[in-house]
Structure 1
Amino acid sequence: MADPFPQDPLTATVALVLAGGKGSRLAPLTDARAKPAVPVAGQYRLIDVVMSNLAHSGIRDVWVVEQYRPFTLNQHLAMGRPWDLDGTRHGLRLMPPAEGRDEEGFAAGNGHALHQQLAAVKAFGADTVMVLSADHLFQIDLRPALAAHHERGSELTVITTETDEDPSRFGVVQVDADHRVTDYDYKPRHPKGRLVATEAFIMDVHALGEVLDALIAEAREQAAACEGPENEDAPEGSALGDYGESIVPALVARGRTHEYRHEGYWRDIGTLDAYYKAHMEILAGNGLDLDRPGWPLLTNHRPVPPARIHPGAEVSGSLVCSGAVVHGTVTESVLGPGVVVEPGATVHRSILLGDAVVPAGAHLDAVIADVGAHIPAGRIGETKPGPGNITVLTPSTRCADSDDETTGH
């Protein structure tokens, strides 16, 4: 049933946060939790970034699409309370996979996931849908982007940025002088420029429905031509793959796609190297701005006592979260809740996610230690690690489906 109350552009918009991916490139941090639930900057979770951007932008209808290991993620989201999204008519909705209708079941890609949610978006009465990933660090007021989308009569608005990374990892965008997107090339081998999509999109619901219908009809015709029995039971929309490969190019081809340029910091942290780099940027003061006035990063805080820095401890250039206890030396590092650095231990350029003890005699350099990790005494890590050479420590034992519940966070 559509919302019977009058709507403005904000309340006629549903934000779909795609949070169901396995995040295998961030393993082993994602072996026992969903990628959006991975801790970041000590006391936050990755999903806090997109949730805070939406809350500060006044977007009241936020639907989190889940699939892989949602348990800890749901515990953290707390039905939207940390972001004031626990309303009656408007607020947070959790969208887990389900059985019972043709469009439900496990998604075969984020394009399929978008198709699965379209009927619910239409039934809600929204005319605009924002599609955002939960694995990027950036701070943006989405209201100007939404206003530009409606003023231009766009079917799709791509929020873009100039990347300092390899653009072939992203969707590369070409635009004209009027900010109209003239070409979208998903993960090209030979990218034409450094302007990329941030994986944040604003879509017209009607246009999206038309494109999905056309793509699904085309896939159905191709499957029928193959005449293979393996195609008969495939769920509708499962051939859509990644929306960057199918849905976005189809919308761009209709000629009513524009960009909205994000000029600030943006980092995709889908890999361990990017995760580590993003934390070093935060510590250096040129990454995600945790102190941005009027735009705090909101989270479901863990009730722990203040950090304790004992006499004789040395701490510099670091983030030390509540519940941490430091006796030793910590430099250019992040200590999550419950981390203990014993006397004689040294932590340098490392990220300790929480509830771990760095014993006397340990010297960590460029180490990521997961929640509850076993950290042995001795020298661990590389002084000058290269790509793919970050040392990751995990708990020596973990229940098959513990999802961090044993750590209390």
Structure 2
Amino acid sequence: MNALGIIFSDMQDWNMTELASHRSVAAIPYGGRYRLIDFTLSNMVNSGLNKMCIITKSNYRSLMEHVGSGKDWDLSRKKGGILIFPPYALGENHGLFQGRLDALKRVLHYISSSKEKYVILSDCDMIYNIDYNDVIRYHIEKDSEITAVYTKTNIERDTSVHKTLYEIDDDGRANDILVNPITEGNYNVSLNTWVMNKDFLEKLIYDAIAHNYKDFSYDVLASRVSAFKIYCYEYTGYYAHIDSLKSYYNHSMELLHRDKLNSLFYAKTGPIYTKTKDSPPTKYGKDAEAKTSLIASGCIIEGYVENSIIFRGVKVGKNSVIKNSILMQHTTVGENTQLDSIITDTYAMINDDRVLLGYSNCPFFIKRYSIV
């Protein structure tokens, strides 16, 4: 594909303080063995992109360790491949960037030096499985300046403020764009993914520099919806927006339903790749039992696990009961312990004879390296 991929790693970090306190949003563990960035990278690789960059903001060490040279996504190559840009740059750009436009200003030279005709911009907090070739064909067909990917879905008032909504005419062109509204109901919700011609994106960036624009959604989409030809491509597959601890928990639990798991990981558009780790098979004790759960490799399960997601290297002691919970990498649960509706970050330790009960609408979160 004749396209350059640009991935923003931290557009929603301000709203996920628990999960993103020591890592970027892109590096948040998901689904037992993945990171959020795996879905964006896999979509691009499966669509034929072989050149892309990740624009980081803060806490990006674990992201760099996970992505590495990009070999697990077939991106370790002499020409093209993947680059990770740190948040600072020379010249007038000091400190952390403020919005997508401000971030793009700092990689303008990289964009200008690229020979690809099209550019795909994407965040990491949206989970879906898509073929970008279809989006680019639609972009060409409509002679669009900006093609936005969206899905029709119901939104709630308490989460609508994290979303961008499109009003679309019969031809598919956006005639109004609502950024971070307070509303509820069925809407055309942005997947925070856009396709543009590279030349057009360069003009946008130069215009942003001249007028000190920083925010792509406000300063380009919403304020200039009538001036630009913004067309909207509808995505109809499985979609999840990770914008809070609650949404992280709810969408993770959805993966325990076979139909949703298959629609995300086994779609016709291609598989989801992640970093390969040489972990041994999970060991189950003679009295262990597991039901309706995702359990990764490298675990030791000696208790009872039900309706839960267990990441690599987790240990569950004898006579312990784990229900409706998410245990991230290398969590240790002692013996005779009961967990229900709990999320543990990496390397958490819960000692013997503990009872921790959360709620499905408000799971209890245990920080990284915590000892309970």
Q: TM-score, normalised by structure 1?
A: 0.84
Q: 2:356 aligns with which of 356, 362, 380?
A: 380
- Give yes or no for contact 2:53–2:84 (8 Å, CA) kept in 1: yes
- Give yes or no for contact 2:101–2:208 (8 Å, CA) kept in 1: no
Displacement after TM superposition at 1:128 (Å): 1.9
Q: What is the rounded CA distance, in whole Å, between the counterparts of 2:327 and 2:4 in structure 1? A: 36
- Give yes or no for contact 1:251–1:257 (8 Å, CA) kept in 2: no
SS of equivalent residue, structure 2 residue 195: strand
Displacement after TM superposition at 1:164 (Å): 2.6
1:55 aligns with 2:45: yes
Q: What is the rounded CA distance, in whole Å, between the counterparts of 2:228 and 2:99 in structure 1? A: 25
Partner in structure 2 of residue 349 of structure 1: 324
SS of equivalent residue, structure 1 residue 252: coil
1:365 aligns with 2:354: no
Displacement after TM superposition at 1:190 (Å): 4.2
- Give yes or no for contact 1:375–1:393 (8 Å, CA) kept in 2: no
Partner in structure 1 of residue 190 of structure 2: 197
Q: 1:134 aligns with which of 121, 124, 127?
A: 124
- Give yes or no for contact 2:104–2:205 (8 Å, CA) kept in 1: no
- Give yes or no for contact 1:104–1:116 (8 Å, CA) kept in 2: no
* Cα displacement string for residues 9-57 of structure 1 (whole angstroms, at most 9, x for unaligned residues): x22x211000145724223222221121111111111110101111111
AA aligned opposite 2:307: E
Structure 1: runs of 5+ lacking an equivalent: 1-9, 219-236, 399-409
- Give yes or no for contact 2:51–2:82 (8 Å, CA) kept in 1: yes
Q: 1:144 aligns with which of 128, 134, 137?
A: 134
Residues 36 and 366 (structure 1 numbering): CA distance in 2 closer, same or farther, change over 3 Å? same
1:261 aligns with 2:234: yes
RMSD after superposition: 2.1
Q: What is the rounded CA distance, in whole Å, between the counterparts of 1:215 and 1:202 in structure 2? A: 18
* Cα displacement string for residues 343-364 of structure 1 (whole angstroms, at most 9, x for unaligned residues): 1100001000111111112111
Partner in structure 1 of residue 210 of structure 2: 217
SS of equivalent residue, structure 2 residue 26: helix
Residues 22 and 262 (structure 1 numbering): CA distance in 2 closer, same or farther, change over 3 Å? closer
Q: What is the rounded CA distance, in whole Å, between the counterparts of 2:12 and 2:178 in structure 1? A: 24
1:160 aligns with 2:162: no
Of residues 389-398 and 351-360 in structure 1, the stretch that sits farther from structure 2 once superposed is 389-398
Q: What is the rounded CA distance, in whole Å, between the counterparts of 2:132 and 2:34 in structure 1? A: 21
Displacement after TM superposition at 1:290 (Å): 2.7
1:100 aligns with 2:73: no
Q: 1:89 aligns with which of 73, 79, 86?
A: 79
Residues 112 and 198 (structure 1 numbering): CA distance in 2 closer, same or farther, change over 3 Å? same
- Give yes or no for contact 1:212–1:247 (8 Å, CA) kept in 2: no
Q: What is the rounded CA distance, in whole Å, between the counterparts of 2:22 and 2:39 in structure 1? A: 21
- 1:7-406 matches, cutoff 5 A: 10-11=1-2, 13-21=3-11, 23-103=13-93, 106-166=96-156, 167-190=160-183, 193-218=186-211, 237=212, 239-240=213-214, 242-288=215-261, 289-292=264-267, 295-376=270-351, 377-382=353-358, 384-386=359-361, 389-396=362-369
- Give yes or no for contact 1:156–1:252 (8 Å, CA) kept in 2: no
Q: What is the rounded CA distance, in whole Å, between the counterparts of 1:207 and 1:396 in structure 2? A: 47
Structure (1/2) with the larger strand percentage? 2
Structure 2: runs of 5+ lacking an equivalent: none
SS of equivalent residue, structure 1 residue 296: coil
- Give yes or no for contact 1:136–1:269 (8 Å, CA) kept in 2: yes
Of residues 68-77 and 249-258 in structure 1, the stretch that sits farther from structure 2 once superposed is 249-258
Q: What is the rounded CA distance, in whole Å, between the counterparts of 1:128 and 1:339 in structure 2? A: 43
- Give yes or no for contact 1:172–1:191 (8 Å, CA) kept in 2: no
Displacement after TM superposition at 1:186 (Å): 0.6
Q: What is the rounded CA distance, in whole Å, between the counterparts of 1:353 and 1:378 in structure 2? A: 18
Displacement after TM superposition at 1:286 (Å): 4.5
- Give yes or no for contact 1:174–1:181 (8 Å, CA) kept in 2: yes
- Give yes or no for contact 1:21–1:68 (8 Å, CA) kept in 2: no
Q: What is the rounded CA distance, in whole Å, between the counterparts of 2:368 and 2:90 in structure 1? A: 38
- Give yes or no for contact 1:175–1:181 (8 Å, CA) kept in 2: yes
Of residues 93-102 and 294-303 in structure 1, the stretch that sits farther from structure 2 once superposed is 93-102
Aligned length: 365
Residues 189 and 24 (structure 1 numbering): CA distance in 2 closer, same or farther, change over 3 Å? closer
Q: What is the rounded CA distance, in whole Å, between the counterparts of 1:50 and 1:126 in structure 2? A: 19
- Give yes or no for contact 1:211–1:251 (8 Å, CA) kept in 2: no
Residues 310 and 261 (structure 1 numbering): CA distance in 2 closer, same or farther, change over 3 Å? same
Of residues 110-119 and 334-343 in structure 1, the stretch that sits farther from structure 2 once superposed is 110-119
Of residues 328-337 and 174-183 in structure 1, the stretch that sits farther from structure 2 once superposed is 174-183
Larger Rg: 1
